[in-house]
Chains A and B, each alone.
Chain A
């Protein structure tokens, strides 16, 4: 027994080393395979490098070149469009669905939850290819079913909306579950009090539930914005014909890949860092927007406690 105690005391004092030992695999992998390549990309972005020979200093030339391509601005606009258009549909619809599934008039909640969540577990590339079959023109499933002749995937103004539809279809289940779990943390007594005061369903949702869920909305909009800036797979697979993606539907992230494939490593790297800067700017903008909204109007009420109090960001 005495010996065991001694061992315990020793372990306690040595826990500093043990702490480092426990984080070592994670931190070393992170440095070697995240931090180092990120920094190395930054260095590359100030160089001309073709994949062989030596790299030469380029100053800001790579950035300058990118910003002078009309394609850069088109693709930046595309990424922002995909983000805004899908978010303004996705987040309200996911929230309403969560309200509906939670409401007393709906039975079989777990079955509905499973069905709405299902697209989330389907392979993104596979469903994107399914959307290709759906929206092919002239003879896709939708045109076939409805007797239409819409050039969904070749008229690029329409193609953008197909991409948006795909993003909404895919993301709905995720945010629906987030909102559903946020709703369960609201004290039912608050709502019951409002019900006794005669507030209807919609009034209760807008003036009680939404302000209480403010942090969940902030979280949803920020994370959705961050992932939207890195959007690549859906438009690339959906709209590429013969392996080539037209810049008028391509997202900004494709500049990284396209430049890499043509061995302009410097420009590819500059595109990567511009994408990162864009993500930071957009996140700050979203936070700022929420702060403005919070200062005025209905969302002034403080969220009461809730399980989200422990979140550190």
Chain B
């Protein structure tokens, strides 16, 4: 066997190995993709069937597709829940981004007594589960007459500690000289913040906005306890309650799946358009 032979043979072995590895990788990815997307297919396909057709044929294509579940969903007043979800998530996101950016900047770049202690105290509460505060809140809000309102769903989420953390982590890599230089030029503190810092923060604020919006869009236990009246309840609270009007307990899966399309598809469209903000939300928050 010549040296050239040997080189040729080992090259071909490497090539076969590479091919096998490639096939293995793609097989795994295709499998994961199918599993990731199957529930989405199921939601969309079943939303185009009548309630009884879902029970008879839950896995197949709708034959023929019908929008009857959607019209029943509208008749059941679920558009109101969708709008409620939208109002609560949007208002909270705008407020929380604004408030955390302001505080995150102050905790990183402004000096004042107690800064480190206050910040540490806030971060330490990250471990408190949302349920811990619910009984105290409930009694507090019952006295304030805030139960079954929008504000009970919005105001408690305007100061997210993870937002503070994200903004701070991001600003740590911004040199103080930028701010000092602006101060030397006589810029006021507010205009430094608004003209220099906010534009710098844009990527992290987009990511924070996405995380906050997703969190609010998904909130369930909170509105279930504090705001389950149909005029203010968000979609996640009302969807599981869509049951047969006469039999009471039988879930109307056609309608529920149509409502799920409302809950899922708009966000997927936004995600596909602004993928970077979604994905970086995960990494800003966690690095």
Contact = CB atoms under 8 A, between A and B. Distances in A.
Contacts of A130: 39-40, 42-43, 257, 260
Interface stretch (A70-78, A100-108, A293-301): A100-108
A113 interface: yes
Interface residues of A, number: 118
A240 B220 contact: no
Contacts of A15: 110-112, 189
Interface of B: 18, 21-22, 25-26, 28-29, 32-33, 35-40, 42-43, 46, 54-59, 99-100, 102-103, 105-107, 110-113, 115, 118, 122-123, 125-140, 142, 155-156, 158-159, 161, 164, 169, 172-173, 183-189, 193, 214, 217-218, 220-221, 224-225, 235-236, 239-241, 249, 251, 253, 256-257, 259-260, 263-264, 267-268, 271-272, 275, 278-279, 282-283, 286-287
A168 to B, nearest CB: 10
A307 interface: yes
A8 B56 CA distance: 74
Contact of B131 (A19, A101, A253): A253
B58 A136 contact: yes
A308 interface: yes
Interface in A254-274: 256-257, 259-261, 265, 268-269, 271-273
Given A8-B185, A130-B260, A219-B286, 17 more contacts: A14-B189, A25-B103, A33-B137, A41-B136, A96-B28, A100-B25, A106-B25, A106-B29, A121-B267, A121-B268, A126-B235, A126-B239, A131-B39, A134-B38, A240-B240, A253-B221, A268-B135
A36 B134 contact: no
Nearest to A313: B123
Contacts of A3: 186
Given A26-B159, A145-B59, A265-B138, A19 B129 contact: no
B128 A178 contact: no
A53 interface: no
Given A122-B267, A126-B43, A141-B58, A116 B36 contact: yes
Nearest to A253: B131
Interface string A24-53: 011101100111111111111100010100
B97 to A, nearest CB: 12
A106 B26 contact: yes
A173 B122 CA distance: 28
A118 interface: yes
A284 B283 CA distance: 24
A226 interface: yes
B129 A275 contact: yes
Given A116-B32, A126-B236, A133-B58, A273 B132 contact: yes
A91 interface: no
Contact of A16 (B33, B112, B236, B256): B112
B262 to A, nearest CB: 8
Closest 9 CB pairs of A and B: A4-B186, A19-B112, A41-B136, A22-B106, A40-B136, A26-B103, A126-B260, A125-B236, A230-B129
Nearest to B210: A121
A112 B134 contact: no
A177 interface: yes
Contacts of A106: 22, 25-26, 29
14 contacts: A8-B185, A27-B159, A30-B159, A36-B140, A105-B21, A105-B22, A123-B217, A124-B218, A125-B239, A172-B36, A178-B283, A181-B283, A232-B221, A272-B131
B56 to A, nearest CB: 7
A5 interface: yes
A124 B220 CA distance: 9
Contacts of B59: 141-142, 144-145
A156 interface: no
Contacts of B58: 133-134, 136, 139-141, 144
A60 interface: no
A233 B185 CA distance: 53
Contacts of A4: 185-186
Nearest to B45: A141
Interface in A54-98: 96-97
A108 to B, nearest CB: 9
Given A123-B263, A141-B58, A169-B39, A257 B140 contact: no
Nearest to A5: B186
A205 interface: no
Contact of B225 (A169, A243, A257): A257
Nearest to B193: A22
Taking each of A37, A237, A280, which has the highest tally of chain B beta carbons within 10 Å of its own beta carbon? A37
A133 B142 CA distance: 37
Interface in A220-254: 223, 226, 229-230, 232-233, 236-237, 240-243, 253
A292 interface: no
A8 B183 contact: yes
A196 interface: no
A283 B224 contact: no
B118 A23 contact: yes
A275 B131 contact: yes
Contacts of B239: 125-126, 129
A8 B186 contact: yes
A7 interface: yes
A105 B135 contact: no
Contacts of A140: 58
